[in-house]
Structure 1
Amino acid sequence: MSTAPSTSAAAPASPIAREDGVDERLFVASVEKAMRVLESFDRDNQALSILELNDRTGLGRSATQRFVYTLHRLGYLQRLAGAKTYRLSAKLVGLAGTTLGGNAPLQHAWPNLVELARETGESISWVELDGDDIIVLGNIPSVHPVSVNLPVGSRFAAMPASSGQVLLAHLPDATLRVRIAAMPASVRARFGDRDDDEILSFFTKARAQGHSMTEKNLGQGSVSISVPVVDGRGQTIAAINLSTLAARHDAHAVRTRLLPLVIQTARDLIAA
C-alpha cells in the first residue's frame, strides 16, 4: 500500500522578539540608527560635528559618518558653511507641519489658547505625552520681554513637570510606582531627596485637584501650572500649560488669578 506524502505545512516561525517586545523580523535597525542621529539635535545642541554625533549616538565613527552623509544627501541635515558641523534642515519643518496640521484637537483648541494668552499675557502651551517625555506642540509666547520660553518641539522629562503630572495622573498608583522606580537618576534628582511615596503624592494630588503646579529656580524663578484636556470619552489627551515668572505672579497669585482661567479654558474645550 502506498502512503500519500504528507501535505501538512511547516509551523510558522515564532516571532523573534527582544526583551523590549520588538519583533526582530520586522524591525529595521538602520532606521532606528538614523533617527538616533536626528534626535541628537535639541535646543541646546543645534549644530553638531560628526565626532559629537558619534558621542551622542554611540554608533561608532564610521557608521555615524555614513548616516550623516546619507541624511545630508537626502536633505534632512544641513552642513554649515565654513564649518564641520551639521544642523537639522528646513525639510524637517514640512514633516513637523504635517503632524501639527493633522492634530485636530490642537487645531480646535487654538482660538481658546490665543484668548487665554491674551487674557493672561503669559506663555501658553499645548503639551502632549510622548513616552517618558512631554513635548510642546503649540505655544503662544508671553507678551513680556522677560518670560519663560517654550518653543514648539521642546521636550522635557514628564515626571517632574506639571504637564507630565496631569498627563500621567490618571494611571493606577501601581503603574506610577513602576515608572517612578524606573526614572533615570538625573530625572529623579529633580524631586530632591523625596522617597517614592512622596513622589507618588505629586500625581495623586494632581488627580484629586485636576491641576498641577511646579516652581523652578530659573534666574528670576518660574511658576508652571497645567490642566488636563479630556476628550468626549473622558480620556486625557493633552495639557494646557501656563508658565510665568515669580517676579510677576507668586504661587498665591497663580492659584487665585491665573489657574481659574486655565481651568475654564480646558472646560470650554470639553463643552465645545
Structure 2
Amino acid sequence: MGGFVNSLATLPEQPDEDSPAIDQRQFVNSLGKGIAVLEAFSSHPGAMSLQEIADLAGLDKSTVQRMAYTLLQLGYLRKGLDGRGFCLGTKVLDRAFDFLRSWPLIERATPVLNELQLGSHERVDLSIFDDLTICYAIRRQSKRQTFYATLVGRRIPTFCSSGGRAIMARLSDGEVDSILRRSDLIALTPKTLTDPDAIREEVQRARREGFSLVHDESLIGEVAVACAVLDHRARPVAAVHIAGSLSEWSPESFAKRFSPLAAEAAGALSGAIAPF
C-alpha cells in the first residue's frame, strides 16, 4: 500500500515534541538517502526511472544514480524486465525473512493463527504495533480477498485499523493523544473516521468491550475485530485480527461471533514474550 514513504534523506530542523530528538552527529546521511531510495517504492511498486525515484525520495538525480547503482550491485534493486528502470531486488525479501524469524512472538503466533483460521473460516492476521502504523506480519487468507490485503508487510494507519484501535485502548490517554496528533488523519475510504474526538470514542469503546470493531474504514465492505497482544510488561506490541465481509455479516453479528475467538488467541500470545 502506497502513501507511507518516510524519507530519511532530509531531517526536520525541529523534531516533533512527541518524537525523540535525532542526534545529527550519529545520523549517517548517506545511509538515510539509500533507505529513502528503497522507500520510494512504497508509493510505486513497479519499475521506476532515476528521475521518478528522485522525485519520490526528495533527492537530486545524481545522488539517486549513485545510490541506485550501489543498491543494484548489492541485490536490493534490480533492472526492470526490459532492462530499463529499477525495481526492488530479492535481497529485500531476505531481510524480511530475517525479521520474521528474529521475534519469538511470530513463531509462537503461527500455530495459534492457523487454528484460529480453521475455526473461524475468515481471514486472520497478526499485526505489529509501529507507532503511527501497524504492520501485518502473519496473514491467513479466506476465500475472497483483495490481493494486496493478503500480503505480509502491508501497513495501515493505527488510528483507523481494528488492530491499531485495540492497541490504543491499552495505552494511556496521553499516548493516544500523541498518536492522533502526529498522524496524518487522511481517510482511506469515505467511511474512515478522521475526527480525533470520534476516534477517541472508539478507543474508549474498545477499552470497555475488550476488543475493537471496525468496518468500511480501511476497505469498503470489510468488517474486522481485533484484540491487543501484550508483552511481559502488559504493554501492547501486536494485535490479532479477524476480518470478514459485510455482505455476509452485520457488524454486530460479526463482533458477537468472533470477538471471543480473537480475545482467546490474543490472550494465549500475551504475557510471556518480551519486545525486541
Q: How does 1:1-272 map to 2 (within 5 A)?
A: 19-20=14-15, 21-42=21-42, 45-142=45-142, 144-146=143-145, 149-186=149-186, 195-216=195-216, 221-270=221-270
User: 1:51-77 deviations in whole A, cap 9, x for unaligned?
Assistant: 221121110111112211111111110
User: 1:120-161 deviations in whole A, cap 9, x for unaligned?
Assistant: 11111110112311101111111x145673310101211111
Q: CA deviation at 1:49?
A: 2.3
Residue 56 and residue 220 in structure 1: after superposition, are their counterparts in 2 closer, same or farther (change >3 A)? closer
The residue type paired with residue 19 of structure 1 is Q
The residue type paired with residue 84 of structure 2 is K
Residue 166 and residue 141 in structure 1: after superposition, are their counterparts in 2 closer, same or farther (change >3 A)? same
Structure having the higher Rg = 1
User: Any idea what SS the aligned residue of 1:40 has?
Assistant: helix
Residue 257 and residue 44 in structure 1: after superposition, are their counterparts in 2 closer, same or farther (change >3 A)? farther
The residue type paired with residue 209 of structure 2 is Q
Which deviates more, 17-26 or 111-120?
17-26
User: 1:166-206 deviations in whole A, cap 9, x for unaligned?
Assistant: 12222222332233233325259877676432221122222
Structure 1-normalised TM-score?
0.84
Matched-pair identity in %: 26
User: 1:60-104 deviations in whole A, cap 9, x for unaligned?
Assistant: 111112211111111110111314222211112111111100110
Unaligned stretches of 5+ in structure 2?
1-11, 16-20
Which deviates more, 262-271 or 227-236?
262-271
Alpha-carbon distance in structure 2 between the residues aligned to 1:165 and 1:100: 23
Conservation of the 8 A alpha-carbon contact between 2:49 and 2:84: yes
The residue type paired with residue 107 of structure 1 is E
Alpha-carbon distance in structure 1 between the residues aligned to 2:44 and 2:248: 27
User: 1:27-64 deviations in whole A, cap 9, x for unaligned?
Assistant: 10111111111112238624322222112111011111
Conservation of the 8 A alpha-carbon contact between 1:157 and 1:187: no
- Residue of structure 2 equivalent to 1:10: none
Alpha-carbon distance in structure 2 between the residues aligned to 1:42 and 1:195: 26
Alpha-carbon distance in structure 2 between the residues aligned to 1:152 and 1:256: 27
User: Any idea what SS the aligned residue of 1:186 has?
Assistant: coil
Alpha-carbon distance in structure 1 between the residues aligned to 2:193 and 2:259: 28
CA RMSD of aligned residues (A): 2.6
Conservation of the 8 A alpha-carbon contact between 2:166 and 2:226: yes
